[in-house]
Amino acid sequence: MANDTWRKSSFSGASNECVEVRAVGELIELRESDDSELILHTTGAAFTDLLHTIKAGELDRFA
């Protein structure tokens, strides 16, 4: 991600019930598309760790 445009998964289609992400400087920002006022700021390293955790299924028990 090289710009500050909000992006969402292509799996979301036209739905507004998804998580959006963007890079702003050195930070990664996440927000829920239907509540765009609340933005979570994190580092690239922490975001990478989160993605690996999700892909490994380590959070599935909380779904």
Supply the pLDDT for residue 43. Answer: 97
In this structure, is residue 9 part of a structural domain?
no
In this structure, is residue 4 part of a structural domain?
no
Supply the pLDDT for residue 3. Answer: 67
Distance CA 59, CA 6 (A): 24
In this structure, is residue 3 part of a structural domain?
no
Its domain, for residue 39, covers 19-62
In this structure, is residue 10 part of a structural domain?
no
pLDDT in tens, 3-44: 679 998 777 777 677 889 999 999 999 999 888 899 999 999
pTM given for the model: 0.77
In this structure, is residue 24 part of a structural domain?
yes
In this structure, is residue 46 part of a structural domain?
yes
Question: In the chain, how many domains are there?
Answer: 1
Q: Is the dihedral angle over the CA atoms 23, 24, 26, 31 positive or is it negative?
A: negative
In this structure, is residue 7 part of a structural domain?
no
